[in-house]
Chains A and B, each alone.
Chain A
């Protein structure tokens, strides 16, 4: 018997309504660890080249990791991967919920979905029984309703649901997959649209099997220590008290949070123009005003989701979580400082099933188009898309999800929308590879600029998270120096490992030495001996695998790009005033990074590197 893994992948073909089980070997587990390692391997193996991401040829893979279903802190993550309808490269999104645990207890490590159902369908995985169920009555429903209806229909709250909303059905290119209400942690790269294109409304799971580990007593003792440690950790304490808003304040007050579609970083100046005073948005103030209750994902001692109840004003009675990326995308970036509006907008995105970041960025772009007269009230069908207008924000979000009016163009994502509208609007369309920018003004965070450009899934703040060391002065945020390419690469390898084990990035406070601590935990769970070096290599292996996938889809160096604003428009105000990137500087950064990765100057994977990582077949296919 294998511990830590179910050793099985479920393959569901929606076209033929057939399922089958494929065994996952111990050798494979050891090499790819789990989660993201599994999804990219299966995607690489099962998907045809050059397909349309919204065609039945796309393959959608879900996976959990070896720690899923145990008490290891923050192990409630799962990953979904497919070819992205936003970027045409590998797309993935990582969610956190109870779904992952139920899936693991149902007895699987991965779920591969192919084909396209003839009519709206949802999958019900009830341990070993898998049903293709009619989703006619669910089609058109929002994510929260769908979740409830499925549970009520089956009559069991132990059923966990990962679903799309109207946005996914309508093939909004940045549609998300939502599980367990508030836990749509990451809806990036349009995985919901891929589900929608397959006429797959939801994947419901009920798992009743017991998850066993190799060394239970040792694991329990260690976890007890970890729980004590994590609630005292620096980052985890902030996460516990305030969630990502807590760390986000650092960026907002240090001129690193984009405002009005990257036209300002000066929150102090901007907010005096607005109704709220930014100085008030301190930890204490937020707690008193908005934070009502923290809730946690399965097995997480931190509980970073903070549910805010709006007590007064036009959004009175609404309740949703407040997060930094939401505060940026739907707030500051749209010139909106009225927090209840940001809470309500976040809730709209979650129920309709669209990514918060992409939604906010595409709306902020439309607001700048309105400011510059590129879009008129006629184009917006009467919606006054002026920066700061939160009423307009509430109007436009559902239009995107339902692809109505201007919403139909915005639903294409900021890259395609700006290409369609033209008139110079491409110059301030904030994306890389087609994926919209997270809440960091990279003109004043240069290692982050590189990281956004080279990430295998487009502008991605989770791939290296080097904005942390930058804002805290560990590296100079305004000047890129030789060697920082290697720093970014090492961080990417390191954080990829979190996505193989499927643990949360907020577990960082726990590890003295991340590789030896995690390899020890891995061995306690699986019984498989694994050295720190093997684990470190697995992170690098999977990053290179994703890169190889992109190369196979036609990636070239020019795809590792940043939007024109990063080069042409220096930061206009605040302490970061004047900072921007030059083309020469950016080329230098790419050279430095590719060299550190062991790739060619053009950024191509080398046979040597791929063979060194044990990816011999991949080396034959894409290595130079």
Chain B
């Protein structure tokens, strides 16, 4: 079975940062994008996207941690952080290809998306419904569908 993770549709995403605010509020009790497990990115003039942990099958972060503070939950696929072991060296942050890991400024340990027990709060607040929980197969289905619709409309023109 493929695992679901939070994906963002850049065509819908407006870069409003609401996901960051909600994540930090739910996890940290206050508003601060730096403490969010999902992060937005805007490339001027108009490209926007949000990024969170993609639950890699063979996560480089886990492999790279020198203190073995990170592990993958076999059932859910999320990255579990042992805060006792983590010393905030940021090696995992460097190795993650998606920039999906951040350092908690106060605790000095790393933070990463844990899918809020399977019900990510950022999703329900996203005002443009740009965020969704999808498996890689669902993502490819959507992409295929879009490509076919575009091709079909060109053929009928």
Binding site for B on A (CB under 8 A): 69-71, 98, 101, 105, 144, 158, 181-182, 208-213, 216, 220, 223-224, 227, 230-231, 292-303, 307, 319-320
Contacts and interface: CB of A to CB of B under 8 A. Distances in A.
Given A70-B31, A212-B30, A301-B127, A307 B45 contact: yes
Given A70-B21, A71-B22, A224-B125, 17 more contacts: A158-B33, A181-B44, A182-B45, A208-B34, A210-B28, A210-B32, A216-B25, A224-B124, A227-B127, A295-B15, A296-B14, A297-B16, A299-B18, A299-B21, A301-B16, A303-B14, A307-B46
Contacts of B42: 295
Contacts of A292: 46
B25 A301 contact: no
B50 interface: no
Interface in B59-102: none
B18 A301 contact: yes
A98 to B, nearest CB: 8
A182 B48 CA distance: 14
Nearest to B48: A295
A208 B127 contact: no
B135 interface: no
Contacts of B105: 208
B29 A216 contact: yes
B25 A220 contact: yes
3 interchain residue pairs of minimum CB distance: A301-B127, A210-B30, A303-B14
Contact of B35 (A210, A294, A299, A302): A210
B23 to A, nearest CB: 11
Contacts of B24: 210
Interface string B120-147: 0000110110000000000000000000
A210 B105 CA distance: 10
Interface in B1-48: 11, 14-18, 21-22, 24-26, 28-35, 42, 44-48
A320 B45 contact: yes
28 contacts: A69-B31, A70-B31, A71-B31, A158-B34, A208-B34, A208-B105, A210-B29, A210-B32, A212-B31, A213-B31, A216-B29, A220-B22, A224-B124, A231-B127, A293-B11, A293-B46, A293-B47, A294-B14, A295-B42, A296-B14, A298-B17, A299-B17, A299-B18, A301-B127, A302-B127, A303-B14, A303-B16, A319-B45
Contacts of A319: 45-46
Contact of B18 (A71, A211, A212, A231): A71
B13 to A, nearest CB: 9
A298 B34 contact: no
A98 B40 CA distance: 12
A119 B14 CA distance: 39
Contacts of B17: 98, 101, 298-299
B131 to A, nearest CB: 13
Contacts of A296: 14-16
Contact of B125 (A105, A158, A209, A223): A223
Residue of B21, B28, B44, B46 most packed against chain A (CB within 10 A): B46
Interface residues of B, number: 30
Contacts of B28: 210
Given A71-B21, A294-B14, A319-B45, A303 B31 contact: no
Interface of B: 11, 14-18, 21-22, 24-26, 28-35, 42, 44-48, 105, 124-125, 127-128
Contacts of B11: 293
Contacts of A303: 14, 16, 127-128
A213 B25 CA distance: 10
Contacts of B127: 227, 230-231, 301-303
Contacts of B32: 105, 208-211
Nearest to A303: B14
A223 B24 CA distance: 15
A71 B25 contact: yes
Nearest to A223: B125
Contacts of B30: 210-213, 216
Nearest to B42: A295
B106 to A, nearest CB: 9
Contacts of B26: 220
A181 B45 contact: yes
Nearest to A212: B30
A620 to B, nearest CB: 41
Nearest to A226: B127
Contacts of A181: 44-45
**A144, A158, A301, most chain B CB atoms within 10 A:** A301
A294 B22 CA distance: 21
A213 B21 CA distance: 13
Contacts of B22: 71, 220
A231 B48 CA distance: 19
A337 to B, nearest CB: 24
B82 to A, nearest CB: 24
B29 A212 contact: yes
A123 B21 CA distance: 27
A295 B14 contact: yes
Contacts of A320: 45
Contacts of B29: 210, 212, 216
Contacts of B25: 71, 216, 220
Contacts of B34: 158, 208
Nearest to A71: B21
A98 B33 CA distance: 11
Quick one: which of A208, A230, A231 has the most chain B CB within 10 A?
A208
A306 to B, nearest CB: 9
A230 B17 CA distance: 17
A24 to B, nearest CB: 20
A70 B31 CA distance: 6
A278 B45 CA distance: 27
Contacts of B46: 292-293, 295, 307, 319
A298 B16 contact: yes
Nearest to B32: A210
Nearest to B44: A181
A71 B46 CA distance: 22
Contacts of B33: 158
Nearest to A104: B31
A70 B17 CA distance: 11
A296 B15 CA distance: 6
A3 B123 CA distance: 27
Nearest to A147: B44
A293 B11 CA distance: 8
